[in-house]
A and B are shown apart, each in its own frame.
Chain A
Amino acid sequence: MTNLKRLATSAILGAATFAYAGTALAQTELSFWSWRQEDVKAYNQIIAAFEEQNPDISVTFTAHEAKSYNTILTTALAGGAGPDIMHTRSYGSLEAIAAPGYLEPLDGQIDLSALSADELLGTTLRADGHVYAVPFASQTALVFYNKDLFEKHNVDVPATWEEFKAAADAFKQNNVNPLANGIADGWTAEVMAGALMPNFYGKEFFGEVTSGSADFEDPRFVGALEKIAELKDYMPTGYEGVDYATMKQLFIAGQAAMFVGGSFEIPGFVESGVNFDIMPAPAAKAGDERMVATWLDGGYGVNASSENKEAALKFIQFTATQPFAQMLSDKLANVPAVDGAVIADPMLAKVSAFHAEASPYIMLVGFRFNTPTGSTLLQNGLQELLTGKKTAAEVAKDVSDGIKSAK
C-alpha cells in the first residue's frame, strides 16, 4: 500500500515536473543587444508590451557602451556568441556585419510596407539589395537656440546666413557666446558642418557626388566650407579645445545662444530645463531652400545563426509596426522610421515637419562604406580649417583625394 502510495506520489511529482519543464521549454528566451544605455528603461517597457502579446517569448535587453558597441558586436558575432536580436547601425557600419553573412535577410520574411524606400536604404546591403534590419529612427542635424537669450538681447531669430551672422554679432556685443560649438571632438564639428553646409552646396550636390559626376573639389562644396570657416568668429573663446560635454554645458547654462547639433539632443535639453527652440540651418539667401540634414540612426536585425530565429523574427516584425513606432516616439522621443505614428511631443513633431525639406547627412549616408571614411576626412579637415592650418580649397582637395583612394 505504502509502496503504491509512494509510486503514485512520485508519478504525480514526475508529471508535474515534466509539465513545468514543458512550459519552461516553450518559453523562448531572446537576447537583445544595443548601444542605447540611456534607453534601457523605455526598452524594457516596450519589450513588456511585446511579451504580453507573445507570452511564450521573453526578451532580455542588454545595452553596451556606445563607443565600443561596433567592436563588441562584431567580435561576438565572429566568435559565434552574438545575440538573437541586435540594434545595428546603418549604412557602412551595417554593411560590416551584413556582408560577412552575420545578419538574416528580412525582405520576404517581414512585412516592411510601413517603411519608406529612403529609410530602407540605410539598412540595405548594396551588394545584394537585401534588407538586413528594420530601420528604427531618423536623426536630424539642425540649430537649437535659447529663446530667453534671444528675447533678453532683443535679437530676431535668423532665417538667412546674413541674419544669422547679424544675430551672432549682436550676441557677441552683449558678451554672450553666439555659438556653443567647439571642435575638440571631431564628430561634433562634422555635425555642425553637416547641418549648415547643405543650404550652400544645394539639393543636387549629394546625388552628384555619390554618383561620381561631381567631386568634393566642386566649387559648391568649397564655397560651403568657406562659410563654415566664417564661424570661427562666433564660437566660444578656445573653441579649438571645447569638447562635446563643454558645448552642452555652455548651452544649458545659458552661456551660448545657439547650438548646432543633432535631434538626439532634444531629450537632454528638455530635461535640463533650458528654454529652447529649434530651426533648420539658415538659408544661403532670402528665398532659398532651408534644408535640414537627416540620416537613419540604425535598425533592428536578426542574427543569422540564432537558434531562436522564428521568435526573433516575430520580435523584428513587431518593430516594423505602427504600435511599436508609437512607443518609440512616445517613450524615446525619436522620430520613428515606421510610418503611422502620431507624434505627440511638439518638439519632435517640429523635427518631423522639417523633413519636408531635407538633404542626406552627407558623409554618413554616402561615404562611410570604405576606408578612409568621408567622416574621418571631413572631421580632420574641419579641425585644420578652423584652426587655420588649411584653407577651404586645401581641405576640399584632401577630402576629395581621400575619397578617391578609399577602398
Chain B
Amino acid sequence: MSTLTEENYKSASVRRKRLRQLWIAFLLFPAVTILATFVFLPMISAIWYSVYEWDGLVRGDFVGLANFAEVLFNPQSNKFLFNAFFNNVKVFVTLMIVQNGLALALALLLAREPKGYRFYQVVFFLPVILSTVIIGFQWKLFLNPIFGLVNTFLRMVELDSWALPWLGLPETALGSMLIVNAWHWVGFPTLVFLAAIHRIPKDLIEAARLDGASEWNIARDIIWPLMAPAVTIIVVLTFIGSFNWFEIPYIMGGLEGSPAYSTDMLGLLFYRTAFGSVSAGNSDFGTGSALAVLIFIFIFTFSTIATRYLTSREVELS
C-alpha cells in the first residue's frame, strides 16, 4: 500500500502536490485558529499581564518581576502558594496510588475476561461520561453530615462514630474529595490500561504460562513492561490533572479551599487572586497572572521531563 502511494507521489505533478499542501493547510486552519485564539493568545497575554501593576482591571505601571516576587517571597502570600502546592502534590500522589492503582488492578482483572466483563467495563467507565459538576453536587449531598447517604448508611450499620462531617474536617475533606475524583475518573485509566494489555500478543503470555510462570510474574515481567506507553500517558495526564485540579474542590469546598484552606489548590488560589470574590477581596490581575505563569512553567517543565524519562524506558514491541 505504501509503495503504491509513494509511486503515485513520484509520478504526480508539482501542481498536484501544491494543491494537496493547500488542502492540508485548509484543514488545519480551523484547529490552528482555535488553538491560537484560546490557548496561545491567553498564555502570551498572561505573561504580558504579569509584568504590570493592576488596579482591579485597569493596567498600571510596568513593574518587571515584582508580581512574581510578591507571589514567591512575600510571607503573607507565599504561605498560600506553598499550602496549595503541597495540597496539589498530595492530590497527585494519592491519585497515582488510589485511582491509577485501582485502575491497573481492574484492567488486569478485566483482561482475563471474567464472566460479564463487558458489563463491568461499561459500569466502570460510566461515571467518566457524567458531568463533574453533577458529580460534585451529588457527592456533596451524599456526604452531608446530617441528611447524607454515607452517614445514614454508617449509622444504620451502627458505625455511628464513623459518621463524620467528611467535608467539614480539615483532616478528611481532601481525602473525601479525592475518593470522589477517583470514583469519577477510574474508568478512564482502566480503559487505557486494558487496551494496552490487549495489544500484548497472547502467545507471549501463553508461552510464559507454559514455562510455569506464576500470574504475578506474568503481570510484573511481561504485562507491566509492555504496557509502558499507556503508563506514560496516564502518569503525565494524572500529573497535569492533579496540578490543574479545580472543579471538584471548587464545587465541594468552595473558592477558599474550605475548611481552613485544607482543600486549597493552585487553581483555586489563582482564581481567587485574579478575579477576587465577595469575601476574599478584589481582583488582582497582576499577581494572578504571575501565579498562572508560574503554574504553567511548573507543569510544562515537569511533564516534559516525565514524558522524556518515561518514554525512554518504554519497550518497543516489534
Q: Decide yes or no whether A14 CB sits under 8 A from chain B.
A: no
Complex interface: stretch among A70-78, A139-147, A197-205, A335-343? A70-78
In the assembled complex, which residues on chain B have CB atoms less than 8 Å from the CB atom of A184?
165, 167-168, 258-259
- B166 partner residues in chain A, CB cutoff 8 A: 241
Min CB gap A216→B, angstroms: 15
Residue A380 at the chain B interface, CB threshold 8 Å:
yes
Chain A residues whose C-beta falls within 8 Å of the C-beta of B140 in the assembled complex: 243
CA distance in complex: A346, B311 (Å): 73
Q: Which of B12-20, B32-40, B142-150 has 4 or more CB atoms under 8 Å from chain A?
A: B142-150
Tell me, yes or no, whether A285 is within 8 Å of chain B by CB: no
Residue in A100, A101, A249, A372 whose beta carbon sits within 8 Å of that of B281 in the complex: A372
The distance in angstroms between the C-alpha atoms of A97 and B76, with both chains bound, is: 25
CB within 8 Å of B: which of A17-76?
A: 67, 70-71, 74-75
Residues in chain B near residue A384, CB distance under 8 A: 260
Contact with B along A360-387 (1 / 0, CB 8 A): 0000000010111101100110011001
**Binary interface profile of B, 172-185, with partner A (CB < 8 Å = 1, else 0)?**
00000000000000
When distances are taken between beta carbons in the complex, the residues of chain A under 8 Å from B278 are 67, 70, 89, 93, 187
Contact segment of B50-58, B187-195, B199-207: B50-58
Q: Find residues 239-277 in chain A having any chain B CB closer than 8 Å to their own CB.
A: 239-243, 246, 249-250
Q: Which residues of A contact B168 (CB under 8 A)?
A: 182-184, 238-242, 387
Name the residue of chain B whose CB is nearest to the CB of A245.
B144
CB contact between A238 and one of B163, B256, B276 (< 8 Å): that residue:
B163
Q: Does A223 contact B (CB under 8 A)?
A: no
Contacting B at CB under 8 A, from A80-101, are: 89, 92-93, 95-97, 99-101
Q: Is the CB of A96 within 8 A of B260?
A: no
A402 within 8 A of B: yes
Question: Interface 1/0s, chain B 276-305, versus A by CB < 8 A?
Answer: 111111111000000000000000000000
Say how far A71's CB is from chain B's closest CB, in angstroms.
5
- In the complex, which residues of chain A have a beta carbon less than 8 angstroms from the beta carbon of B256? 186, 376, 379-380
Say yes or no for B151: interface residue by CB 8 A criterion. yes
Tell me which of A99, A240, A371 contacts B280 (CB under 8 A): A371
Report the bound CA distance from A236 to B281 in whole Å: 30
**CB-CB < 8 A to A92: which residues of B?**
281-282
Q: Give chain A interface residues in 91-135, CB to chain B under 8 Å.
A: 92-93, 95-97, 99-101
The reply to whether A185 and B145 contact each other, CB–CB distance below 8 Å, is: no
Which residues from B are CB-within-8-Å of A246?
144-147
Max chain B Cβ within 10 angstroms of own Cβ: one of A236, A249, A250, A380: A380
A186 touches B163 (CB 8 A): no
Q: Is B310 an interface residue (CB 8 A)?
A: no
A183–B259 contact, CB under 8 A? Answer: yes
- Is residue B233 within 8 Å, beta carbon to beta carbon, of the partner chain? no
- A237 contacts B by Cβ under 8 Å: yes
Decide: B169 and A78 in contact? CB cutoff 8 A.
Answer: no
Majority secondary structure, A binding face: helix
Per-residue contact bits, chain A 176-219, to B (CB 8 Å; 1 contact, 0 not) = 00000011111100100000000000000000000000000000
Distance in angstroms between the alpha carbons of A89 and B278 in the assembled complex: 9
Q: How far is the CB of B78 from chain A (nearest CB, A)?
A: 12
Given contacts A96-B276, A246-B144, A246-B147, contact A71 B76 (CB under 8 A): no
Contacts of A75 in B (CB 8 A): 57
In the complex, are the beta carbons of A70 and B276 less than 8 A apart? yes
Q: Which of A96, A241, A389 contacts B282 (CB 8 A)?
A: A96
**Smallest CB separation, A375 vs chain B (Å):** 4
Known interface pairs A96-B283, A97-B56, A184-B167. Does A250 touch B259 (Cβ–Cβ under 8 Å)? no
CB of A402 within 8 A of CB of B258, answer no
Instruction: Tell me which residues from 375 to 407 in chain A have a Cβ below 8 Å from any Cβ of chain B.
Output: 375-376, 379-380, 383-384, 387, 389, 401-402, 405
- Asked whether any CB of chain A lies closer than 8 Å to the CB of B241, the reply is no
- Kindly provide the distance from the CB of B91 to the nearest chain A CB, expressed in whole angstroms: 20
Contact among B151, B169, B282 for A387, CB-based, below 8 A: B169
Q: CB-CB < 8 A to B280: which residues of A?
A: 371-373, 375-376
Most buried by A among B166, B254, B256, B279: B279
Contact with A along B259-287 (1 / 0, CB 8 A): 11100000000000001111111111000
- The answer to whether A372 and B76 have CB atoms under 8 Å apart is yes
Nearest-Cβ distance from residue A241 to partner chain B, whole angstroms: 3
Alpha-carbon separation in the docked complex, A100 to B57 (Å) = 8
In the complex, the answer to whether A74 meets B146 with C-beta atoms within 8 Å is no
Q: How far apart are the CA atoms of A304 and B200 in the complex, in Å?
A: 68
Separation in Å of the B67 CB from the closest CB of chain A?
13
In the complex, what distance in Å separates the CA atom of A89 from the CA atom of B163?
40
Bound form: Cα–Cα A74–B274 in Å: 12
B170 on the A face (CB < 8 A): yes
C-alpha spacing A183/B259, complex, angstroms: 8
The reply to whether A242 and B281 contact each other, CB–CB distance below 8 Å, is no
Specify which chain A residues have a CB less than 8 angstroms from the CB of B281 in the assembled complex.
92, 368, 370-373, 376
Across the interface, which residues of A come within 8 angstroms of B230, CB to CB? none
Does the CB pair A389–B260 fall under 8 Å? yes
7 A-B pairs with least C-beta separation:
A238-B145, A241-B165, A241-B168, A240-B168, A78-B57, A238-B165, A375-B279
Supply 25 A–B pairs (Cβ within 8 Å), ascending by A: A74-B57, A75-B57, A78-B57, A89-B278, A92-B281, A93-B278, A96-B56, A97-B56, A100-B55, A186-B254, A186-B279, A238-B164, A241-B145, A241-B167, A241-B169, A242-B168, A246-B144, A246-B145, A249-B147, A368-B281, A371-B280, A371-B284, A383-B258, A401-B76, A402-B76
Q: A241-B169, A373-B280, A383-B260 are in contact. List 14 more A-B contacts (CB 8 A).
A: A71-B283, A74-B283, A77-B57, A89-B278, A96-B283, A238-B151, A240-B168, A241-B165, A241-B166, A241-B168, A250-B146, A372-B280, A387-B170, A402-B76
